[in-house]
Structure 1
Amino acid sequence: SASNRIIGAKDHASIQINISEVDKVTGRVNGQFKTYAICGPIRRMVS
């Protein structure tokens, strides 16, 4: 997670985002991605 916290089962405001990796030479998506999990309290701080 973004805060290094364990995201609990009752945290219904948490999200998980997959960001595609792009080849630096061709500019195309290479089929790999990075996964980011953001817990509800972090989302509330941004809003």
Structure 2
Amino acid sequence: SVDLPTSHQGMKAHSGDESTHRMLEAINCMMIDMMAEITKKDYQQKKI
């Protein structure tokens, strides 16, 4: 998840407080889940 733009925002020294960190972490997890689902759907469509 380091390659996601929101990860880069969270790694900055002035990134903010704990709530900002948790929000960025949740967004990263959601984006990874979405990418996995899109990849799965794409694979299944190509397999047919």
Shorter-chain TM-score range: under 0.3
Question: Please, what TM-score do these two structures have when normalized by structure 1?
Answer: 0.20
Question: Please, what TM-score do these two structures have when normalized by structure 2?
Answer: 0.20
